[in-house]
Amino acid sequence: MKSAITTAASRLHELHCAACGQVHSAFELQTVSACCQQPLLASYDLSWPPRPEGIIDQADSSMWRYGALLPLLDPANKVTLGEGLTPLLDLPRLGAHYGFSALTLKDEGQNPTGSFKARGLSMAISKAKELGASGCIIPTAGNAGVAMAAYCARAGLRATVVMPRHTPEAFKEECYWYGAQVELVDGLINDCAARVRQLNAGGELLDISTLKEPYRLEGKKTMGYEIAEQLNWQLPDVLLYPAGGGTGLIGIWKAFAEMKALGWLAPETRLPRMVAVQAENCRPLYDTYFGHQSNCHAYQGRPTLANGLAVPRPLGEPLMLRVLRESQGTVVSVSEEAMLEGMRELGQHEGLFVAPEGAAVWMAARQLQAQGWLRADERLLLLNTGSAQKYLSNVVGRAWG
Ligand SMILES: *Cc1c(COP(=O)(O)O)cnc(C)c1O
Ligand SMILES: [Zn+2]
């Protein structure tokens, strides 16, 4: 049954600087905060909180079912390929083998363009269209660029994608098929960001870099709403997430806070301990969290199979650290060999062909269990953020170790 209220307009209210809290308008084109050059976070009017049934559009089987809590003002500007509402899959065979009694994976590899980047880019490109941008540019480790190219094509916007030269061919090729201009750079995503500044010195394109515009985060937060809705408003004990720029970690935590404010979670609900998983080859957050450096500003990363994790200097590091602190979470780092082992296990025991980032999350759960940080009876949720298809050229021939 669909009531009139489910199509309620966005409750977008204002934007806040993540560093100093200063308020900025949510109704004009924004990048980072003018005050501190830091991310802007969207807030909503949650003062009249109806039950989920009054907000969630049950007829919509995409992330846009939470439209009232998303920043798009006019539905006519929505740019969608059906992203979101991905399945939660139990992992009974792996769970039994390793003694986990409640092991579940959210399979974001089933999104358009093969990764959860579709959520953020559907949202950001819809807002770019709404706010009158003529084209968009992005530095990317791969998946974000592919998603931006697809959504820009659908919106009729120009797209420029800047990615490391060593990125597997399939990522570049898919961008070409969406009609994007692709620039290749020797280095990692931070080097691509420098190239973006050069290419866009005149500012004619909207920079869609992670957390340099406020809305990718809002798309990513829908994972938090979905997890709660799919688990009938009972959250897992521990949530493991492969953190690069960190939008998923920050976004899911933001969704939990909004749901608390809305009264959708029982007051006694314990929020999950949030685990950020990184690659040994590029683990700035790990090094900061464990005190090996005071922050990531000079961190030097190396390429990894999990190219989504090859983000040496994430702008959102302070926000990620806050999530880890508030949730009593932790950070784990995973080797390249372990990622391949994780891909084999999820493939051979559960029929899932996950990106190395997702495999890293599974191997992180095993590490935390071995350290005693996790108890076997805890409810674990693994986020698999992408499908392995585009990574094939880097893993071909490794199915048997
Ligand atoms: C981008 C990406 C990540 C990291 O996401 P962030 O939001 O940057 O933390 C993880 N996995 C995959 C497959 C990705 O493409
Ligand atoms: Zn500020």
| DSSP structure string for 21-34 | --EE-SSS---S-T
Does the reported pTM lie above 0.95?
yes
Nearest by Cα to 118 from 166, 79, 157: 79
**CA–CA gap between residue 361 and residue 275 (Å, rounded):** 9
d(CA 319, CA 19): 9
- Which whole-number Å values give the CA distances from 206 to 35, 139, 183, in the listed order? 19, 12, 16
Structural domains in the chain, sorted by start: 88-112+216-395 (3.40.50.1100)
Q: Does ligand 1 come within 6 angstroms of the Cβ of 242?
A: yes
List the residue whose alpha carbon is closest to atom 2 of ligand 1: 308
Give, for all 401 residues of the chain, the pLDDT tens digit.
333 344 468 999 999 999 999 999 999 999 999 999 999 999 999 988 889 998 999 999 999 999 999 999 999 999 999 999 999 999 999 999 999 999 999 999 999 999 999 999 999 999 999 999 999 999 999 999 999 999 999 999 999 999 999 999 999 999 999 999 999 999 999 999 999 999 999 999 999 999 999 999 999 999 999 999 999 999 999 999 999 999 999 999 999 999 999 999 998 999 999 999 999 999 999 999 999 999 999 999 999 999 999 999 999 999 999 999 999 999 999 999 999 999 999 999 999 999 999 999 999 999 999 999 999 899 999 999 999 999 999 999 999 98
Question: Which single residue is written with the structure tokens 């994790």?
Answer: 309
Q: Which residues neighbour ligand 2 (ion) by CB within 5 Å?
A: 17, 19-20, 22, 33, 35-36
276 C-alpha to ligand 1 centroid (Å) = 11
- The ligand with the least distance to the CA atom of 250 is 1
CB of 248 shorter than 6 A to ligand 1: yes
Local structure of 68: helix, strand or coil: helix
For a mutational test of ligand 1's pocket, the pick from 83, 110, 115, i.e. the residue with the most ligand atoms closer than 8 A to its C-beta, is 115
Q: Answer whether 210 contacts ligand 1 (Cβ < 6 A).
A: yes
